[in-house]
Amino acid sequence: MNSNNQPIGIFDSGIGGTSIWSAIHQLLPNEKTIYLADSKNAPYGQKSKKEIIELSMKNTDFLLEMNCKLIVVACNTATTNAIQELRAKYNVPFIGIEPAIKPAVTHSKTQIIGILATQGTLNSELFNKTTEKYQDTKIIEQVGHGLVQLIENGEINSPEITKLLHSYLQPMIEANIDYLVLGCSHYPYLIPQIKKILPEHIQIIDSGEAVAKQTQNILREKVGFASVEEKQPIFYTNTNPKVLSEILENKYMVLQKEF
Ligand code: DGL
């Protein structure tokens, strides 16, 4: 495979997909990355499939104008509702993110697992096709109502979030789950609070590392790795850049742009 110095494009409904960006950047530090936070339209979780497809196409158009060689859909809601349509329309490889049900089911001893995700993800055909395969495991589904909006408002450590998390996780603890799947790319930022609520034996799984490895595989097999030194990532948002900058610890350039 020849080298390829075009950037990798990554998008999410907002700032949450930076958890996926971070896993990709760590594994592939030589790759130039462009991240798009569609925070103006967040949350996607309550929108119709049609709207989610339209927004995902708008984000893809922007990243392709920036000459991206590969698109990572760093949003479970966009992946489970729009990835088939994206793949059908564009001639570029797409990597999606889906809730990590398989590893949780495979390792669960109680055969009871919990999943916290958006309504759009839990209602999607793709997600329901996945869970159908695991009839022997009880999968407790919980919509994380309100969480994405609070994270987008920069209120990660607020008492409101803690209160919501308690109400979503307590029934799962009582049901004896031993794995909790975080099915939304915003939720890894809540892991410190979640750990305070869950008993120690309950494992938390998200999909960041798996997506980074899949990105590496696609670069190796189809697209080509960058051949030059580490490059600074670029982040775009269509709202006030403050919260995105803060979640990146003010280390990177964040540009505000209409898209
Ligand atoms: N990060 C998106 C996801 O993974 C957030 C969804 C939303 O915008 O509601 O599903």
Tell how far CA 164 is from the center of its chain. 20
185 and 62, same domain (yes or no): no
Residues 194 and 221 in one domain: no
Domain co-membership, 162 together with 232: no
Residue 54, domain member (yes or no): yes
**Do 12 and 78 sit in the same domain of this protein?**
yes
Percentage of the chain modeled with pLDDT above 90 = 97
Same domain, 195 and 215: no
Q: Is the pLDDT of residue 64 over 90?
A: yes
Q: Which candidate, 56, 119, 65, places its Cα nearest to that of 89?
A: 56
Question: Which atom of ligand 1 has the smallest separation from the CA of 43?
Answer: 8
Q: Is residue 230 predicted with pLDDT exceeding 80?
A: no
pLDDT of residue 244: 97
Q: Ligand 1, closest atom to CA 12?
A: 1
Residue 67 CA to ligand 1 centre (angstroms): 25
| Backbone dihedral region for residue 249 (phi beyond 0: left; psi -120 to 50: alpha; all else: beta) | left
pLDDT at 29: 93
Q: Can you read off the two tokens belonging to residue 188?
A: 């890894």
Q: Are residues 181 and 241 in the same domain?
A: no
pLDDT band at 134 (very low <50, low <70, confident <90, very high): very high
**pLDDT at site 229:** 73
The span from the CA of 77 to the CA of 116, in Å, is 12
First to last CA, the chain: 33
Q: Is residue 86 included in any domain, yes or no?
A: yes
Examine residue 1 and state whether it is found in any structural domain, yes or no: no
Domain that holds residue 38: 8-97+208-256
- Indicate whether 3 belongs to any domain: no
* 26 assigned to some structural domain: yes
Average the pLDDT over 7-28 and give the result.
Answer: 97
- Do 150 and 194 fall within a single domain? yes
**pLDDT band at 150, cuts 50/70/90?**
very high
What is the rounded CA–CA span in Å between residue 76 and residue 59?
15
Phi then psi for residue 39, to 5 deg, are -60, -25
**Do the domain assignments include residue 227?**
yes
Mean pLDDT of 169-191: 98
Which tokens belong to 7? 């950037």
Contact (Cβ atoms closer than 8 angstroms) between residue 49 and residue 83? no
The dihedrals phi and psi of 59, each to the nearest 5 degrees, come to: -65, -40
186-195, pLDDT tens digit by residue?
A: 999 999 999 9
- Within this chain, do residues 147 and 233 fall inside the same structural domain, yes or no? no
Same domain, 171 and 224: no
Residues 212 and 199 in one domain: no
Q: Is the pLDDT of residue 228 over 90?
A: no
- Catalytic positions, written as ranges: 75, 184
Q: Identify the residue whose C-alpha is closest to ligand 1 atom 8.
A: 43
Q: Residue 241 domain-assigned?
A: yes
Q: What are phi and psi of 31, to 5 degrees?
A: -80, 135
Per-residue model confidence as pLDDT tens digits over 82-99: 999 999 999 999 999 999
Pocket of ligand 1 (CB under 6 A): 12-14, 16-17, 42-45, 75-77, 118, 121, 148, 184-186
Of 186, 205, 224, the domain-final residue: 205
DSSP the chain: -----SPEEEEESSSTTHHHHHHHHHH-TTS-EEEEE-GGG---TTS-HHHHHHHHHHHHHHHHHTT-SEEEE--HHHHHHHHHHHHHH-SS-EEE----HHHHHHH-SSSEEEEEE-HHHHTSHHHHHHHHT-TTSEEEEEE-TTHHHHHHTT-TT-HHHHHHHHHHHHHHHHTT-SEEEEESTTGGGGHHHHHHHS-TT-EEE-SHHHHHHHHHHHIIIII----S-----EEEESS-THHHHHHTTT-S-EEE---
Read off the CATH number of the domain in which 160 is found.
3.40.50.1860
Cβ proximity of 45 and 51 under 8 Å:
no
Instruction: State the pLDDT at residue 44.
Output: 96
pLDDT for position 144: 98
- pLDDT greater than 80 at residue 57: yes
Q: What pTM, to 2 d.p., does this model score?
A: 0.96
> pLDDT averaged over the chain?
96
Q: Are 207 and 9 in contact (CB under 8 A)?
A: no
- Answer whether residue 175 is part of any domain: yes
Q: Which segments are annotated as binding site?
A: 12-13, 44-45, 76-77
Using pLDDT thresholds of 50, 70 and 90, give the confidence band for residue 20. very high
How many structural domains are present in the chain? 2
Q: Tell me the HSE value of 207 on the side-chain side, using a 13 A CA sphere.
A: 28
Binding residues for substrate: 12-13, 44-45, 76-77
Q: What is the pLDDT of residue 162?
A: 97
Residues 123 and 69 in one domain: no
Domain stop point among 205, 224, 244: 205
110 and 196 inside one domain: yes
Give the pLDDT score at 2. Answer: 86
